[in-house]
Amino acid sequence: MDTLKLAGTIPSTAFRRVGPRRVFLFPSLIAISILLFTFYRPPELSNYVVEFHGDAQLSHSQWDKLDAHLQRCEELQAPWQTYDFPPSANRTNPRWKVSSGQKQTVVLRNVTVFDGDSILPEPVDIVFAEGVVQSITSSGANNFDAVANTIVHNYHGHFVTPGLVDMHSHHLAIPWPSLESYVDDNEINEATGPLTPMVRALDAIKPYDIAAKIIASGGITTSLILPGSANIMGGEAYPVKNFLRGGEYGEEIVEELLLEHGIAKENRRRYLKMACGENPRRVYHHTRMGNAWHFRHHMARAKELREKQDAWCAAAGIARQRKDSAAAATLLAEGPYAKGGLPEELELDSSVAMLRGKIGINVHCYEQEDFEDMLLHSEEFGFRIQAFHHALSAWKVPELIKSSGQNITIATFADFSLYKKEAYDGNLWAGKILTEHGVPVAYKSDHVDENTNARYLLSQAATAHSFGLSELLALQSVTSVPAKSLELHHRVGYLKPGYDADIVVWNSHPLSAGANALQVYIDGKSTLEEKSFSPEAADNTKPGMRAETAAEDIKLFCEHPKRDESIVVTGIKNFYLDTPDIKPSASFNLTMVINNGKISCLGDQDRCISTTSTSRVITLQNGHVLPGLTTISDTLGLAEIESEETTADGYADRTANVLDPETALYTKYGIHFEGKAFNRARIGGVTRSITYPYGDGFLQGVSVGIKTAEGGNPINGGIFKDDVALHISIGQDAKSSLQTPSVSKSIATLRRILNDNKGKDTLYGKAANGKIPVVAHSENKYDILQLVKIKYDFPKVNLVIYGASEAPAVADEIASAGIPVIFNAAHSAPSEWEKKDLLVGPPLTISPVQVLLESNVTFALSLLPGHDWHLANLPIEAAAIAKEAGISSKQAIDLISIKIDDVLGLQKSERNSDFVIWEGDPLEYGASVVLTFDGDNREVVGCWPEAE
């Protein structure tokens, strides 16, 4: 912020308080003096001559003090440093050190580069040394063989990007596995209240959080570590590089994690975290009105201090210039301004920096009214907002956001949403909509648990791309856009000469399903073991985007199918159904005929088409036919907005006697067949859900089998199976129950239930007799072994393990006992102690799914609980898992469809016989469901769900 403008706002009263021998100034003079002040430099001490003025004398040390404070004035008032672009190729990386930095020059030969702006037209060779990119030149002409001290990697055309930048993460402040005693994200305290701009994430960072390594393996090299969002002003945030123990002695040192390590502390960038709306409202019991008032009240204090500072600095500048000892003495005396000298208050330091435009303001803010309010505050007090974070409703008001003129970045999620009121308007097309209005969009993680695992940041860009964000904007959204928003784009977010050597080599196009890092360099140092890869296999095919089809065309198209007796679909490239009577002919371009909801022919057009004459023909370019997929959920149909109790069924009574089967909840009585998550399921080709009661505690209750098609209800077949399984929990979640306060008690209780109810015709009797499966939710390997033991002791019980994060560690035992598993931890994380030893998967470990397969465990896959928002991507998850585990697409699809029926022992008539016709390959991003068929009623139950 420029000083001139503010000079006009200094109240004249401020000057009257200077002292008995007042510095006499006209307001216009103030402006001039501040201008002069900008160029003012304290003289060298040796040249310094004290001139006496009036009756006051000032000692040398007093003048020195005045000069020191004037120096501080200069620091405070100097405009925020910006950088020249592009950085020169010979710049040094301040993080680099002789002893611990990149030692050998590295050459990545023959790579396809996205450089932060665009994809270079031809393959290049990248050279980097001492943590800085030296050159990027056209591949082929160079000969590096003879260059000393150089490592050359030939990547045969593989895709390379700058290290990804995540502008919102809480790792290091809350390390994995999370333990109560070191959750240091929110300063929640009655004494300090919701305004804590004075606290710093720096003081929370634990430089040994294993999450940093996991996150880096996803290609994220830079993260902004912010305080949490409980407070209106949460505190200062710090950018780090995700490289642990990278310093000279390999010790766990916070300073060495900081991106600006090596730069003088006073010259480092600053960031402030703020929050609107629901969180501070909930935590401090204010309304939005109270939130706003407390913030404005605080900012008024900061503004007053800033004005006092500017007035002091102006007066001191003039006193210095005129060598006016009396004025100087007054300015240094105890007085109403400050305790001798330039007024400063540590508590208000970052708030004043806000008003001086010297701290990047990042505001957690979701909804349109909250953006508007925060923009009002920014106008009232004169601060610029760097980014609105989360901001899931921003797509509704892009012009409002633009109208601020502040070029505010929307740092958001691609599909994570729906979990609370503020998140309920999340839109899968938001990235496309916002960027079409010229609003910069960045994707970020909000890392702390599996829902927000930063390791999967890139998949958000890929998801956004599949929903219409262009390839370049999608790649920029996790590299250069966040880097620019954070004003770190002179070092990171780009892959060009002069940038930090933070580089990721990918095994496929970075926006494709299951893209994984082959290598990640941070400051030029590799972070992954070198992996072998097939030189021919650089498949950089860009995945598609969903076809843009006019709403009227879709409407017209979708009006038909329900009435259609016979439908012909041409252009089918892949068919994944197990149909004993229909075997596709060898042809790649198949035609399928559906008569009365049943496939009557599948093969060459000539063979199939003759059987029908009056059919409607659907012509696909890249048709795929998949079985309807099944999800396992504790919320779908039960809790629409998880944090809003009135939108949900409710919890079990945790004080009830769990030995009494009457206390079990039956989900079948609570299902509502509507909500936004249902639509996400339909977009993902998910036609069924096994929904079990949510909440923790030992006894969860009985799951129901429901259909996700529109218009379902409990009396028209929306429920395909009333009582699927009895769900109980063995592990940390169960400890909240009054009667099972420990894991051991939960195990004993399960044993007692199975032992005491044999032969009874109750729910527990059926469970004991194997008439209804017992699905035991369990994560820890020792808890799982207790279940294995129970299976041996109660062989009749139809036991299923669900969750099973650490199952790979005891896979042989599970397989030998013949216990089927519903595994939901293929892309999970060691976020909790009880699953600290799970396998995080490639590129750091073997795929946990591969371990289960190789041990011959019978299993199916599902998303983690609370992931209904992710259902549109269920086939993509399966595709990524298939790539990582080295299994076929067919196997992957089976694991999220028929295998679930197998594991839960569904009867033939209860099994999922739905099928879904897609345009595009659903195992790659960008495919759309065209028609959904219900296998029981043999009818079309869905048409183009993404248009809903």
Under the rule (CB under 6 A), what is the footprint of ligand NAG? 88, 90, 110, 123, 139-140, 156-157, 407, 409, 440, 481, 484-485, 535, 538, 570-571, 589, 605, 855-856
Residue partners of 795: CB distance under 8 A and separation at least 6: none
**Quick one: 42 or 571, whose CB is closer to ligand NAG?**
571
Calculated CA dihedral for residues 591, 595, 598, 603, nearest 10 degrees? -20
For residue 397, CA distances in Å to 400, 409, 423, 439, 630 come to 5, 13, 15, 10, 36
Smallest distance, Å, CB 481 to ligand NAG? 5
**Could you tell me the smallest distance in angstroms from the CB atom of residue 402 to ligand NAG?**
10
Closest CB to ligand NAG among 407 and 891? 407
* Least spacing, CB of residue 535 vs ligand NAG, in Å: 5
CA–CA separation, 458 and 929 (whole Å): 24
Q: What is the secondary structure of 366-412 as a DSSP string?
A: -SHHHHHHHHHHHHHHT--EEEEEE-TTGGG-HHHHHHTSS--EEEE
Identity of the residue, 351 or 409, whose beta carbon is nearer to ligand NAG in the bound complex:
409
The answer to whether 56 and 326 have CB atoms below 8 angstroms apart is yes
Tokens 């998880």, residue located: 642
> Least distance from C-beta 855 to ligand NAG, angstroms?
5
CB of 590 to ligand NAG, least distance (A): 8
Residue 430 main-chain phi, psi, to 5 deg: -60, -40
Q: Closest Cα partner for 488 from 273, 256, 271, 274?
A: 271
434 contact partners, CB below 8 Å, separation of at least 6: 394, 395, 398, 410, 441
Residues 101, 269: Cα–Cα separation, whole Å: 23
> Which residue, 470 or 855, has its beta carbon nearer to ligand NAG?
855
CB of 483: closest distance to ligand NAG in angstroms?
8
**Rounded distance between C-alpha atoms, residue 893 and residue 146, angstroms:** 50
Residue 89: alpha-carbon gap to chain centroid: 33
Continuous segment of H or E residues that includes residue 14:
helix 12-16
Of residues 299 and 811, the one with the C-beta less far from ligand NAG: 811
Which residue, 156 or 200, has its beta carbon nearer to ligand NAG?
Answer: 156
In the complex with ligand NAG, the residue whose CB is nearer, 45 or 537, is 537
CB of 225 to ligand NAG, least distance (A): 19
**Closest CB 606 distance from ligand NAG, rounded Å:** 8
Q: Which is nearer to ligand NAG, 219 or 440 (CB)?
A: 440
Q: What angle do CA 900, 906, 911 make, to 5 degrees?
A: 75
N-term to C-term CA, the chain: 47
Name the minimum Å distance from CB 158 to ligand NAG: 9
Q: Is 326 or 442 the residue whose CB approaches ligand NAG more closely?
A: 442
Instruction: Supply the minimum distance, in Å, between the C-beta of residue 32 and ligand NAG.
Output: 32
Chain residue whose CB lies nearest ligand NAG:
484
Pick between residue 809 and residue 941 the one whose CB is nearest to ligand NAG.
809
Encoded tokens for 649 = 């069924």
Least Cα distance to 157 among 518, 450, 659 occurs for 518
Radius of gyration, alpha carbons of the chain: 32
The set of residues, in sequence order, having a beta carbon less than 8 Å from that of 4 and lying 6+ positions away, is 31, 34, 35
Identity of the residue, 53 or 156, whose beta carbon is nearer to ligand NAG in the bound complex: 156
Which residue bears the tokens 């393996």? 217
Residue number with CB closer to ligand NAG (326 or 410): 410
Name the residue nearer to ligand NAG (CB basis): 105 or 485.
Answer: 485
Provide CB contacts within 8 A for 92, sequence distance 6+.
130, 132
Task: Give the SS3 label for residue 152.
Answer: strand
Residues sharing a CB contact under 8 Å with residue 782, sequence separation 6 or more, in sequence order: none
Tell me whether residue 620 or residue 658 sits nearer to ligand NAG (CB atom). 620
Min dist. Cβ of residue 266 to ligand NAG (A): 24
Q: How far is the CB of 905 from ligand NAG (least distance, A)?
A: 21
Least Cβ distance, residue 90 to ligand NAG (angstroms): 4
Q: Which is nearer to ligand NAG, 605 or 643 (CB)?
A: 605
SS (H, E, C) 676-694: HHHHHHHHCCEEEEEECCC
Least CB distance from residue 2 to ligand NAG, whole Å? 18
Query: 151 by DSSP, 3-state: which?
Result: strand
Lay out the sheet containing 233-241: strands in order across: 164-169, 220-225, 233-241, 271-275, 360-365, 385-390, 409-412, 441-443
CB-CB contact of 222 with 240 (8 Å): yes
Of the pair 169, 485, the CB lying nearest ligand NAG is at: 485
Judged on CB neighbours under 10 Å (0-12, 13-18, 19+), 727 is buried
In 391-477, beta strands by DSSP E: 409-412, 441-443
C-beta neighbour count of 361 within 10 angstroms: 24
Smallest Cα–Cα separation from 217: which of 531, 517, 529? 517
**∠ CA 55-61-65 to the nearest 5 degrees?**
95
Give least dist CB 409 to ligand NAG, A.
Answer: 5
3-state secondary structure of 454: helix
Would you say 106 or 199 has its CB closer to ligand NAG?
106
Q: How far is the CB of 569 from ligand NAG (least distance, A)?
A: 10
Nearer to ligand NAG among residue 189 and residue 856 (C-beta): 856
CB of 86 to ligand NAG, least distance (A): 9
- Give min distance, CB of 781 to ligand NAG, in A: 17
Q: How many residues are listed for the chain in this entry? A: 948
Transcribe 354-367 into DSSP letters.
Answer: HHTT-SEEEEEE-S
Residue with tokens 């303001």: 361
Q: What is the dihedral of CA 488, 493, 496, 502, to 10 degrees?
A: 100
